[in-house]
Amino acid sequence: MFLTALTGICLYENQLAGTIPSELGMLTALTSLRLHLNQLGGSVPSEIGRLTELRGLGLSMNNFTGIIPSGLGMLTALTFLALSYNEFTGIVPSELGLLTALMHLNLENNQLTGTVPSELAMMTEIVELDLEKNQITGTVPSELGNLTDYIWLYGEH
């Protein structure tokens, strides 16, 4: 099928509704998936974890629910991950720490709980980590202090 060579999907701000089809996981050449500013909902399919070439994933400002799939930790080429302004619940998956190329992680304005996982300190390229407007508690893990690049860490005041 010719779609397996597709490298980018950019459909942001199009009033799309419904869910992300699990078949999207078959587009293994994708490097960019931008679906922010729509009306998509439901859970993010675990099949997205198959998109190992993905460098940018933008799902912000939709109506996604459920947990953030731990399978996103398999997307080790990601440099940009934006899941902000949705209705994700549960904890910040420690598997996100496996995203060692990640530079920008935005989980702002969801319903996430628990603590900031110390595994996020494995993201040695991170320059922006936005966790504000959630129900995350506890302290910032001391391991984040070992990151050598300048980092913007956002959280509730």
Domain boundaries, the chain: 2-154
Both tokens of 121, joined, read 């300190």
Could you identify the residue written with the tokens 């304005």? 109
Longest dimension (CA), the chain: 50
What is the predicted pLDDT for the residue at 157?
45
Q: Which of 3-7, 34-38, 122-126, 149-153 has the highest average model confidence (pLDDT)? A: 34-38
Reported as a single tens digit per residue, the pLDDT across 111-157 is 999 999 999 999 999 988 999 999 999 988 888 887 766 566 666 54
CA distances to 7, 78, 104 from 3, rounded to whole Å, are: 9, 21, 28
Class of 2-154 per CATH?
alpha beta
Distance, in Å, from the CA atom of 30 to the CA atom of 54, rounded to the nearest integer, reads 6
Distance, in Å, from the CA atom of 38 to the CA atom of 36, rounded to the nearest integer, reads 6
Q: Are 96 and 67 in contact (CB under 8 A)?
A: no
Residue 153, strand partner residues: 129
| Residue 2 scores a pLDDT above 60 | no
What is the predicted pLDDT for the residue at 145?
80
| Residue 4 scores a pLDDT above 90 | no
CA distances to 69, 110, 117, 118 from 145, rounded to whole Å, are: 26, 25, 13, 10
| Sign of the torsion formed by the C-alpha atoms of 93, 8, 30 and 39 | positive
Reported as a single tens digit per residue, the pLDDT across 60-116 is 999 999 999 999 999 999 999 999 999 999 999 999 999 999 999 999 999 999 999
What is the predicted pLDDT for the residue at 22?
95
Those residues with Cβ within 8 angstroms of residue 40's Cβ, 6 or more apart along the chain or in another chain:
16, 17, 18, 19, 20, 59, 62, 63, 64
Q: What is the pTM of this model?
A: 0.92
